[in-house]
Amino acid sequence: MTKIDPNTLANIEEVTTEHLHLDLKVDFEKQRLVGSVLLTLKTLAEQVHEVVLDTNHLVINGVYDGENQEKSYEYKLNEEDPKFGRSLTISLPNSLPANQSLKVLVKYETTKECGALQWLQPSQTMGKEHPYLFTQCEAIHARSLVPCQDSPGVKITYSANIDTPAPLRALMSALRVNEEPEVVGDSRIYKFEQKTTMPSYLIALVVGDLEGREIGPRSTVWSEPAMIEKCAWEFVDTEQFIKTGEELLTPYEWGCYDLLVLPGSFPYGGMENPCLTFVTPTLLAGDRSLVDVVAHEIAHSWMGNLVTTKSWENFWLNEGWTMFIERKIIGRMHGEPSRQFSAQMGIKALEADVDFFGHDNSLTCLCPRLHGVDPDDAFSSVPYEKGFNLLYYLEQHLGGPSVFEPYMKAYVQYFAGKALTTSEWKDFLYQYMEKTHGQEKVDLLNQVDWKAWLHTPGMPPVENKYDQTLSHACTQLAKKWDEHRDAPEASPKDIEDFTPDQKVFFLEKVLETEPLPHSTLEAMDKAYSFTQVQNSEIRFRWQMVCLKAEYQPIYPEVVKFLVIQGRMKYTRPLYRALFKCPSGSQLARDTFIKNRDFYHPICGKLIEKDLGLAN
Ligand code: BES
Ligand code: ZN
């Protein structure tokens, strides 16, 4: 029998978790969390005699009967699997029949090796005065924050008491139970409750010098005090995104939708932690041009958080669907051409990653096999953009938005609170189309080349056609540079009407051509001043264009960018490209080694591999 989730060591077929309660003290001196987790479990199988949990680099201080905490349980921390951690086997005193509730209390603490946590020294924060801690659990790092059944198919509610040194504040991916902390001596206890069931990878915690500003009826943005104004200005569209999501799908379930803007080392653009999306400060462009990441994370409130993939092999159900909804929101708010343009940018990201992994690499299948594979190593644009393209193709093929949008809503209603696989997704699609529209749509579905879409590596089997309204001028300009690569004519006027996105697309097109001569890059920079641009998406592409041509004047700029932010989308390709330049390899390694502590553990580990520094 193949396992439902090859990336967990927990016995999820025999027993499941219903609720998780955390009691943790945050110890900045020793950089560790100390406390306990109380798990409320339910047996699924007959004769369950043990509970196996996932852990990774945790110290276990004891396991007890949750109902009678005097009574300890026998347990064993098993041998470490380098990718999936150490399972914790807890022996139950009596074997239990199916459908029995039980509670298990595990006392534990985290260590320096825990990949979910990044501890920042005061010097690594904006304020320079207080330390900072944040977590990142997706995909399989929750097990290094708390012993649990770390599989996305196990959906739980959770609560927590976090004991935090004054004057710092704690926030979690849950509703705040007390606005003001309970004061006990020197410590402040913040309490949280998440009442909607969700997978373990959405447990999230941040502790730091945090200030909040209301930006909507159900939204507060949080950040270090020094950038709170900037954050509040950048993300004013938040409520409109949520409302548009509600129009497209179902009422927003999670109560509040807050945003947290993290320090520069946050490894992702955004992370959809319920009630509190985490975002990178690289979104603060000062012109609201990068807020589609917020639309994306909001779309996860339905796709991923409410309707969840059962395993990382079906990750596209989270991210492909979320891209699809993100672009629906963008289309509703800014017009269909913006949606079409965003989809074309997606194709560029997909092409880049399919090239990087290799066109016949099985990790470029929409549903890859992940037995023995760390999901972090499999991460790419494929689930996002091949997933999006499948849904976009289906929308066209089945008769357009008037058929597809009601289906989308029905899908969320049907699977809300559940986890599913791709085959369950497909079954529901067939059932819905047959029931609502009859055999005609079933015939259309039967024409879809499912094997190619779901199980074949490389680019999608169908090339969707997108409207060129916004991309045309970019493509033309890139063509002009390519054709006149030896004697370019350029003027700032060429791009004066371009939106930031169009500049990005132009640079993407330039990246596709042969490396430009250095004098041509110099002319481009003179006319367009790309080196000066602070918008992180433009800055990243321009640096990539220069590195592709081994244009050395850009090196100091690349280093500058690499040491103020650690978002993997930028950091990994830039390090790889610098490393690939014969005159840049040493600089790439030196820069990384010198700044190793700045990067988040997840990011550091991957760059180490990219630069051939892993042992
Ligand atoms: N859930 C992801 C981030 C993630 C994926 C973390 C896999 C860990 C493992 C998040 O929603 C996301 O997709 N972020 C993107 C933003 C985007 C596509 C607009 C990012 O970080 O760039
Ligand atoms: Zn996402």
DSSP string, 436-485: HH-HHHHHHHHTS-HHHHHH--SS-SS------TTTHHHHHHHHHHHHTS
User: What is the average per-residue pLDDT within 215-241?
Assistant: 98
Give the CATH number of domain 307-455; options: 2.40.30.10, 3.40.225.10, 1.10.10.10, 1.10.390.10.
1.10.390.10
Determine contact, residues 237/294, Cβ cutoff 8 Å. Answer: yes
Ligand 1 pocket check: which of 280, 296, 385 to mutate, most ligand atoms within 8 Å of Cβ?
A: 296
Please report, to the nearest 10 degrees, the dihedral formed by the alpha carbons of residues 207, 210, 215, 216 taken in order.
40
566 lines ligand 1 (CB under 6 A): no
Q: How far, in Å, CA of 343 to CA of 81, rounded? A: 39
Q: Is 374 in the pocket of ligand 1 (CB under 6 A)?
A: no
Task: For residue 297, indicate whether it is catalytic.
Answer: yes
pLDDT in tens, 297-316: 999 999 999 999 999 999 99
CATH class of the structural domain 1-120+127-201: mainly beta
Q: Is the CB of 272 under 6 A from ligand 1?
A: yes
Contacting residues for 89 by C-beta, under 8 A, at least 6 apart: 50, 51, 52, 75, 76, 78
Distance 328 CA to ligand 1 centre (A): 18
Calpha distance 223→570 (Å, rounded): 22
C-beta atoms surrounding 426 within 10 Å: 15
- CATH 2.60.40.1730 in the chain is located at 1-120+127-201
**Closest atom of ligand 1 to CA, residue 379:** 7
Q: What is the pLDDT of residue 186?
A: 82
Mean pLDDT of 575-591: 98
Confirm whether 522 is a catalytic residue.
Answer: no
**Catalytic position from the list 297, 326, 395, 508:** 297
Q: Does the structure show a pLDDT above 70 at 460? A: yes
pTM as predicted: 0.98
For ligand 1, atom 5: residue with the closest CA: 138
Percent over 90 (pLDDT), the chain? 98
DSSP structure class, residue 18: E
Burial class (CB in 10 A: 0-12, 13-18, 19+), 281: buried
Portions of the chain given CATH number 1.10.390.10 = 307-455
Q: What pLDDT shows up at residue 185?
A: 87
Closest to 465 in 3D by CA, of 338, 354, 340: 340
Nearest Cα neighbor of 103 from 73, 141, 145, 123 is: 73
What pLDDT digit, counting tens, does each position of 32-86 carry? 999 999 999 999 999 999 999 999 999 999 999 999 999 999 999 999 999 999 9
Could you say which of 75, 201, 384, 555 is catalytic?
A: 384
Looking at the chain, the domain(s) classified CATH 1.25.40.320 span 472-611
Atom of ligand 1 nearest to the CA of 319: 13
pLDDT of residue 609 exceeding 80, the answer is yes
The pair phi, psi for residue 342, each rounded to 5°, is -60, -40
Residue 102, token pair as written in the block: 């039980």
Q: Where are the beta strands (DSSP E) in 82-241?
A: 86-96, 101-110, 117-120, 132-135, 155-165, 169-172, 175-176, 182-184, 187-199, 205-208, 211-216, 219-223
Cα(132)–Cα(149) distance, integer angstroms: 27
Rounded CA separation 40/487 (Å): 70
Task: Tell me the HSE value of 476 on the side-chain side, using a 13 A CA sphere.
Answer: 9
Query: For the chain, what percent of residues have pLDDT higher than 70?
Result: 100
Distance between CA atoms of residues 484 and 314, nearest Å: 45
Is the Cα dihedral 237, 243, 249, 255 positive or negative? positive
Residue 351 burial by CB count (10 A; 0-12/13-18/19+): exposed, middle or buried?
middle
* pLDDT over 70 at 1, yes or no: no
CATH classification (class only), 472-611: mainly alpha
Task: Give CA–CA dist 298/271, Å, rounded.
Answer: 10
Name residues whose C-beta falls within 8 Å of residue 335's C-beta, 6 or more positions apart in sequence: none
DSSP letter at 62 equals E
Three-state SS at 216: strand
Q: If you take atom 10 of ligand 1, which residue's CA is the nearest one?
A: 271
Cα-based distances in Å from 112 to 30, 31, 57, 204, 255? 9, 7, 8, 18, 34
Instruction: Tell me the per-residue pLDDT of 465-510, one tens digit each, with 9 for 90 and over.
Output: 999 999 999 999 999 999 999 999 999 999 999 999 999 999 999 9
Instruction: State the distance from the centre of ligand 2 to the C-alpha of 294, rounded, in angstroms.
Output: 10
Asked if residue 508 has its Cβ within 6 Å of ligand 1, the reply is no
Nearest alpha-carbon partner for 405 in 171, 610, 247: 247
139 lines ligand 1 (CB under 6 A): yes
Using CB atoms within 10 Å of the CB of residue 560, give its burial: 0 to 12 exposed, 13 to 18 middle, 19+ buried: exposed
- Ligand 2 geometric centre to CA of 567 (Å): 14
139: preceding bond cis by omega (within 30 degrees): yes
Q: What letter would DSSP give residue 300?
A: T
Mean pLDDT across the stretch 375-381? 97
Are 158 and 203 within 8 A, CB to CB? yes
Q: Give the helix ranges, DSSP H, for 287-335.
A: 292-299, 316-334
Instruction: Tell me what pLDDT residue 187 has.
Output: 85
Secondary structure (H, E, C), 549-600: CCCHHHHHHHHHHHCCCCCHHHHHHHHHHHHHCCCCHHHHHHHHHHCCCCCC
Nearest CA to ligand 1 atom 15: 269
